[in-house]
Structure 1
Amino acid sequence: MTVRSLIAACCTALTLFAAGCAETADDSTASPERAAVDNSAPAGESEAEPGSDPAGSTQDSPTDADSTSPSPAAEAPEALQFTATTVEGAEFDGRTLVGKPTLLWFWAPWCPTCLGQVPEVEGLASQYAGELNVVGVGGLDSGSAIEDFAEDTEGITHLVDEEGAVWQRFGITEQSSYVLLDADGNEVLSSGYGEEVDLSGQIAEAVS
């Protein structure tokens, strides 16, 4: 081999060596970039925040039973499924009597016996205030006469029953009658005109 040929061969070898080093350097610098791209999330997607619900999950809500629980008024017996008007002109719903024992007093404005019962009924209303419903049901006369009679009483809710609808509902046919209901609205006592009855004792038992 001549000197010129030897020099040419050395130059070729050096050129190939330099090219190989450059390619290796390019590979080593490109790798981190590729790794970074591989570790990134696809475009348009983001990580869920800590504590967040997965997509599509729903929050617990109160059950239907919680929102539709029947009230005492809705559970009233048929006898208390009525409305009437008080002597003050307000609407009265019989279902509101459920929850406490109730004394219903059926009277007529012209009845001397009914007038004589006023002190006892007022006393019971005062004695059991907050524990007993006391409702007078005036009938067998005009609304104005019923209102006049009721003005002379205290602590009693009075209903105007000119047509006798409430009287009929409880099977009352004569004035000076009592009906005692328990807290569920069920009848526990019914007494008519002239009957001897331990009203105070019956009420004491009902509220106990």
Structure 2
Amino acid sequence: MLYRRAFLCSFGLGLCAFPVEETPDFRGTTLKGEKFTKSSLKGTPVLIQFWATWCGVCRRDQPAVDALVEEYGDRLTVLAVSVNESERVVRKYLANSPRKGRIVLGGSTNLPAIFGANAFPHYVLLDAESRLKADVEGGIGDAGLHQLLKRVNL
């Protein structure tokens, strides 16, 4: 079920503000076999990047997303959810273009269905209590990602 949300968009980066609202339950497993749930991730903000190996804009944003993993360490959880691609395709891509953060296949989580991920990249930001703070489609680069993280005081 798609998570329905009302929002107001600001000009500039096209970032949208949402009412403070908790997200539906979610779960998943990373490529490394690490299981996660909404409750297991509570306590730290979560940035979800929905991406695809064929997406050029995703590739351009990848260094900025990886830099967030380095910069914020355990103060931010980054989930990079590859949507509609096989494990073989994703692993082959990662062999040539490694990513930091937790890599998740779209088929091993209900996140794409919850947030209606069908354009890439697509960023979702949750605060430490799993409340939706932002939902942005399109590449936003380093400056946009840092602007986004201000919404969770990072």
Q: TM-score range by the shorter chain?
A: 0.7 to 0.9
Whole-Å separation in 1 of the counterparts to 2:70 and 2:146: 12
Aligned to 1:51: none
1:89 aligns with 2:33: yes
1:173 aligns with 2:118: yes
Alignment coverage as a number of residue pairs? 131
**1:104, 1:134 within 8 Å by CA — same for their partners in 2?**
yes
**Cα separation, partners in 2 of 1:153 and 1:96, compared to 1, 3 Å:** farther
Cα displacement (A) at 1:83: 2.2
2:133 alignment partner AA = V
1:107 aligns with 2:51: yes
Whole-Å separation in 1 of the counterparts to 2:86 and 2:35: 18
Cα displacement (A) at 1:205: 4.1
What is the TM-score normalised by the length of structure 2?
0.73
**Cα separation, partners in 2 of 1:102 and 1:141, compared to 1, 3 Å:** same
Which runs of structure 2 are paired with 1:24-43 in the superposition (5 Å)?
none
Which runs of structure 2 are paired with 1:3-22 in the superposition (5 Å)?
none
Query: Which structure's relative contact order is higher, taking Cα pairs within 8 Å and 6+ residues apart?
Result: 2
What do the CA deviations read for 1:119-165 (whole angstroms, capped 9, x no partner)?
00011111111211111001121121123334433430011113773
**Cα separation, partners in 2 of 1:135 and 1:194, compared to 1, 3 Å:** closer
Aligned to 1:158: 103
1:189 aligns with 2:143: no
1:145 aligns with 2:65: no
Aligned to 1:199: 145
Instruction: Return 5+ residue gaps in structure 2 as ranges.
Output: 1-21
1:94 alignment partner AA = K
What do the CA deviations read for 1:81-107 (whole angstroms, capped 9, x no partner)?
222221123333232211111110000
1:161 alignment partner AA = G
**1:137, 1:161 within 8 Å by CA — same for their partners in 2?**
yes
Instruction: Return 5+ residue gaps in structure 1 as ranges.
Output: 1-76
Whole-Å separation in 2 of the counterparts to 1:166 and 1:193: 17
Whole-Å separation in 2 of the counterparts to 1:188 and 1:90: 25
Larger Rg: 1
Corresponding residue SS for 1:173: coil
Higher helix share: 1
